[in-house]
Amino acid sequence: MNWDSKHKKTVYILSAVLMVDFIYLLISGGTDYIERIIIGIAINIILALGLNLFSGLTGLFSLGHVGFMALGAYISSILTLPLQTKNANLPDLPGWLAHVQLPFFPALILAALVTMGIAFLIGIPLMRLIGPYVSVATMGFLVITQVVLTNWDTFTRGARTFAGVPAYTSWWNAWLWALFVLYVVLRLKFSSFGRSMRASRDNTIAAESIGIPIVQSRLLAFCISAFITAIGGALWAHFIRAFSPKSFYFAQTFSVITMVIIGGLGSVRGSLAGVVFVTVISEILRNLERGITLGVITIPPMYGSSQVIMALILILMIVFKPTGFFGETEWKARDVIRFFKGFFSIISKGNNGGH
Amino acid sequence: MQLEYLVQQIINSVSIGSLYALMAIGLAMVFGILRLINFAHGDLIMVGSYATLLLNTLGLPFWIAALLGILISGLAGVVMERVAYRPIRGASDVAMLLTSFAVTIFLENLAVMIFRATSRPFASPVILSQVVKFGGIRVSSLSLISIGITLVLLVLLTIFVKRTETGISLRATSQDLIAARLMGINVNRIIVTAFIIGSVLAGVVGVLWSARVGKIDPLMGFQPVLKAFVGSVVGGLGSIPGAILGGYLLGIMEILLQALLPSNLAPYRDAFVFIILIILLLFRPNGILGTTAKEKI
């Protein structure tokens, strides 16, 4: 039962090894690399919280949120593309779009609003479905966006790379958005809306009988979470600056899901932990994947191995600790104090052992 | 000429519908018992195809390689159940769904690691790539063989499910797992049986599908299975007749869309398939043959 205490030592040793490796990566990568990781974490927090808001509150699991991310990314990029690049890359755009070049903030908001509108439209039929059907139907939505993005050359350059997106995302605006989203999601979780959603997740019939409008509130949660995810997608687009429809498919879906599930579905702090965990692990794995030389032994590049390991981690997590690191709980001041107390006691013990 | 074209298209859609039906049956059996959406079903198709291709290049005759490939796919299904799905049996729907998604990612990337992401040509014997003529009607021999094999399999499956004791236990388990266990049915054995049947069918689909497309790659199974799942949802999820109906409907829909869509919309075919699903779900959330299961309070 008590998984934590039994395997604590192994977990500590493993994480120590990983941290050393990661710090080595950071030092050898330089400030640019560190900044990229910091921005990446902020964007992943937005994406994970977007999914967590919907799935944690409603108990329905969306496999299509990366579709919203893609919409946010493409719409915001089309709106902000410098006119010259736009004429060269997307020559067939209709006039009203061809001559438009918006600043970052309005483009971001507009992209998120349009995405929210689309989420509203597809949410009307989807939110009436139960459990697994929602997951499959949202995955259907992901396939639809993929097909449309790959074929609608006029707006998206089709399967080719969409490049030349201005680099508007910086560490401070990414983190500003991340903190804003964090605040909104936490407030929503403990609002009367959030509580009634969680009630209807745990017992639909009972919730319905006390007058909670289930379909409408699910739809609302879906729309808000699509808005957040689109913001994340737009920030990602202006961070990466060149992408193709393939960037928004199952690999990305899987990575966001892993973050949310490892931390604990429904827990905001869980998502934060999951994001940091997955970001760090996948940076390390990506380095290993390219192949490394350890003295005389050379490990050849093995593409796909990082995903294989992530999938294993997720399966093991679901089998041994299905609620993730944190279940559905949030931090309280008390826990923070206890954490530091424990931390210092471990350190002082370690010192005593050394003498 | 018009009539001949129509007949040709009907045979075409029935043959592709047969493959979808075979996939949908495997999905429906597992879903009916465990409420598990097995995304990794597509990877069983991939396993069967790669096994066939490898054995064939090792020098085995195609048909023996295909037979062994199908058996390997069945074995992979059993291993998948034992290793990944049994430990989480009885977990929440979301946990099972995510496990199957993780298994998919695992198997696909394992295949990328071993075989590379690029596709490989899948050479099939001449008999599968001939054009048969009846008067003015021209159909590929592969279509006819697909339809024939599927019919035989469907008859065998029906006999199995209706007449044999294991088949009856299987239906009982899918109706109510706990009650079936109380009646002395070995549920583990039944679940393994469902996985064996499903993954052997997936292996058959793998061989026929690869022969149809002519090349295979590690991600080949995912999209077709997703569509087959759509089919089984439309037909009525968890019921075998529903899965068969849904599979054939899907085949017909695909060929119809191919014929009717103007050429500039043709690449969007898959998008339309999923849009039709979402619209259908609006009117019949439990599928065409599905019954509304009343939840007990």
Task: Report the pLDDT value the prediction gives residue A88, as an integer from 0 to 100.
Answer: 81
Cβ atoms within 10 A of the Cβ of A177, count? 21
Helix pair A3-58, A171-189: axis angle to 10 deg: 80
Task: Report the pLDDT value the prediction gives residue A343, as an integer from 0 to 100.
Answer: 66
pLDDT average, residue stretch B28-53: 90
Residue B1: band (very low, low, confident or very high) from pLDDT cuts 50, 70, 90: low
What distance lies between CA B292 and its chain's CA centroid?
Answer: 24
Contact B102 A135 (CB under 8 A): no
One DSSP character per residue, A117-133 reads HHHHHHHHHHTTS-HHH
Residues in chain B closer than 8 A to A137 (CB atoms): 277-278, 281
What distance lies between CA A130 and its chain's CA centroid?
Answer: 24
Q: Residues A234-273: pLDDT tens digits?
A: 999 999 988 999 889 888 999 999 999 888 888 888 888 8
Residue A133: band (very low, low, confident or very high) from pLDDT cuts 50, 70, 90: confident
Total CB pairs under 8 A between chain A and B: 133
User: CA distances (Å), A262 to each of A8, A186, A304, B177, in order?
Assistant: 17, 19, 20, 30
Task: Report the pLDDT value the prediction gives residue A36, as an integer from 0 to 100.
Answer: 86
Residues in chain A closer than 8 A to B105 (CB atoms): 250-251, 254, 307-308, 310-311
CB of A201 within 8 A of CB of A59? yes
Cα pseudo-dihedral B101, B106, B111, B112, rounded to 10? 100
Residue A295: band (very low, low, confident or very high) from pLDDT cuts 50, 70, 90: low
List helix spans (H) across chain B: 2-34, 41-57, 62-80, 93-115, 141-163, 165-175, 177-182, 187-213, 222-235, 240-260, 269-283
Q: Which residue has the tokens 């008999």?
A: B127
CB of A232 within 8 A of CB of A47? yes
CA distance B132 to B141: 6
Task: Report the pLDDT value the prediction gives residue A227, as an integer from 0 to 100.
Answer: 97
A292 pLDDT more than 80? no
Please state, for a pLDDT cut of 90, what percent of chain A lies above it.
32
ipTM: 0.85
Residues in chain A closer than 8 A to B278 (CB atoms): 122, 125-126, 137, 140-141
Distance from CA of B198 to the nearest CA of A (A): 19
Task: Report the pLDDT value the prediction gives residue A305, as an integer from 0 to 100.
Answer: 82
CB of B107 within 8 A of CB of B114? no
Task: Report the pLDDT value the prediction gives residue A355, as an integer from 0 to 100.
Answer: 42
Distance from CA of A169 to the nearest CA of B (A): 30
Token representation of residue B186: 């070995």
CA distance A40 to A88: 29
What distance lies between CA A228 and its chain's CA centroid?
Answer: 10
CA distance A98 to B56: 54
Closest Cα in chain B to A129? B285
B130 pLDDT more than 70? yes
Phi/psi for A191 (5° steps) reads -80, 175
CA distance B36 to B177: 13
Contact B94 A55 (CB under 8 A): yes
Number of H helices, E strands in chain A: 15, 2
Task: Report the pLDDT value the prediction gives residue A54, as an integer from 0 to 100.
Answer: 93
B183 pLDDT more than 70? yes
pLDDT average, residue stretch A3-7: 56
Task: Report the pLDDT value the prediction gives residue B209, as an integer from 0 to 100.
Answer: 92
Task: Report the pLDDT value the prediction gives residue B159, as an integer from 0 to 100.
Answer: 92
The three-state secondary structure class of A321 is coil
Residues in chain A closer than 8 A to B224 (CB atoms): none
Task: Report the pLDDT value the prediction gives residue A4, as an integer from 0 to 100.
Answer: 53
Task: Report the pLDDT value the prediction gives residue A324, as an integer from 0 to 100.
Answer: 76
b/e code A30-49 from CB counts within 10 Å (16+ = b) = eeeeeeebebbbbbbbbbbb
Residue B296: band (very low, low, confident or very high) from pLDDT cuts 50, 70, 90: very low
What distance lies between CA B144 and its chain's CA centroid?
Answer: 18
CA distance A344 to B204: 61
pLDDT average, residue stretch A2-18: 65
Task: Report the pLDDT value the prediction gives residue A353, as an integer from 0 to 100.
Answer: 44
B297 pLDDT more than 60? no
Residue B258: band (very low, low, confident or very high) from pLDDT cuts 50, 70, 90: confident
Maximum mean pLDDT: which of A32-36, A68-72, A340-344, B113-117: A68-72
CA distance A105 to A74: 15
CB of B142 within 8 A of CB of B128? yes
Task: Report the pLDDT value the prediction gives residue A119, as an integer from 0 to 100.
Answer: 95
Eight-state DSSP code of residue B296: P
A334 pLDDT more than 50? yes
Contact B271 A143 (CB under 8 A): yes
Contact A136 B233 (CB under 8 A): yes
b/e code B36-68 from CB counts within 10 Å (16+ = b) = bbbbbbbbbbbbbbbbbbbbbeeebebeebbbb
Residues in chain B closer than 8 A to A256 (CB atoms): none
Token representation of residue A318: 């679901």
Among the partner-chain residues B105, B111, B271, the one whose CB lies closest to the CB of A144 is B271
Eight-state DSSP code of residue B173: H
Q: Residues A187-246: pLDDT tens digits?
A: 998 888 888 888 888 888 888 888 888 888 899 999 999 999 999 999 999 999 889 998
Token representation of residue A220: 């609302």
Among the partner-chain residues B113, B281, B282, the one whose CB lies closest to the CB of A305 is B113
User: CA distances (Å), B139 to each of A257, A261, B21, in order?
Assistant: 45, 49, 20
Residues in chain B closer than 8 A to A301 (CB atoms): none
CB of A90 within 8 A of CB of A162? no
Picking from A43-47, A110-114, A335-339, which range would have the lowest pLDDT averaged per residue?
Answer: A335-339
B49 pLDDT more than 90? yes
Please state, for a pLDDT cut of 70, what percent of chain A lies above it.
86
Among B178, B263, B227, residue whose Cα is nearest residue B16: B227
Among B187, B30, B42, residue whose Cα is nearest residue B96: B30
Among the partner-chain residues A140, A148, A206, the one whose CB lies closest to the CB of B230 is A140
Among A262, A269, A260, A251, residue whose Cα is nearest residue A331: A269
- Where on the phi/psi map is residue A311: left (φ > 0), alpha (ψ -120 to 50), or beta? alpha
Higher pLDDT, B127 or B200: B200
pLDDT average, residue stretch B24-43: 89
One DSSP character per residue, A40-71 reads HHHHHHHHHHHHHHHHHHH-PPPS-HHHHHHH
